[in-house]
Amino acid sequence: MTSTTAEKTYCMKCDILIHAPSGVAYTGNVDEDKFIGSPAVWFGDKKRNVEATAALDSLMLTWKEGKTFAQRRIPYAAITSVEFGTRKESEGVSLEAAITGAIVGGGLLLSLGAAGMSEFGQVRTLVVRLREGDYELYVSQPSDWADRLRGQMVATALGQPLETDRSK
């Protein structure tokens, strides 16, 4: 394995690029890879530089602690629903979300409108509900994330985790 960046590792033997914090392999398909290492703001927790990844069996939140990465796994089987919430920009989203939400995969810039900004200084958030509590996240394109997580929940309930197409 060769470290390409702090978040990406490349295996020359396997010819696979891996998101180092989560251990999930990139597919090479932009539509799939946007769910790997996506910048996020995790409300209710003071962790900074959080990244969200839709792995095969769980939603993973990863962040840097010192020189290593830490993670929280949220198994799809434990998720009861995926909904939307809203937060005021003044609740800490404006600066951090503008920075983290605007940079997605190789530096592609998104406008805040496309990234989840709603009217009157509100941002749309993703609320992942579990029996034991909720996780509220700001991620770019929350509708896409909700669709992806709901699909993973259904596939997991059927015993068939969604597989990504790695041939593209």
pLDDT digits (tens, 9 = 90+) for 113-146: 444 455 567 889 999 999 999 999 999 899 999 9
Domain range summary for the chain, segments of one domain joined by +: 33-157
**24 within 8 A of 18, measured Cβ to Cβ:** yes
Where does the pLDDT of residue 97 fall: very low under 50, low under 70, confident under 90, or very high at 90 and above? very low
CATH of domain 33-157: 2.30.29.30
* pTM, entire model: 0.76
Q: Residue 63 and residue 7: Cα distance in Å, rounded?
A: 10
Q: Residue 131 and residue 11: Cα distance in Å, rounded?
A: 39
